[in-house]
Amino acid sequence: MSTTMMLTRYGTRAFDLPLSAIIRTAETDLRRHAYKQAVTDVERPMSERSEADARLETLGGVYAFAPKHVRRARTASELLLIAAQDAEAAAKSKSPNRVMLYGSPERLVDAAEAAMGDGR
């Protein structure tokens, strides 16, 4: 186990993620999922791709949240609430970022409430 993973799993936090970062991460995962659904069988020339498409492709298609949660959600607030209810998904993850993201279910609920207030 790496030092980063050990520190993340056992509660040492260098910082708490701001609610806006958590919401933005959920929105990015939902956009990535929609993109994957839209282009699974369609290849478009680079000139027809938007900058956002190119950025999503560059990220390699890896979700920050558990893929099963991203597939079930339709909005950022819904994704955050699903993640808060199933925080055990992080315990099974090998990604320090996912462990950190799921580390505080209360923080996920706070972010979901903030996202709902913004209509996300």
Of 115, 60, 63, nearest to 89 (Cα)? 63
Q: What is the pLDDT of residue 90?
A: 72
CA distance 70 to 53: 18
Of 23, 22, 27, nearest to 101 (Cα)? 22
Query: Which residues fall within 8 angstroms of residue 107, CB to CB, at 6 or more apart?
Result: 16, 17, 19, 22
Kindly report, residue by residue over 54-85, the tens digit of the pLDDT.
665 655 568 899 989 999 999 999 999 999 99
Domain limits of the chain?
3-8+17-117
Q: What is the pLDDT of residue 27?
A: 95
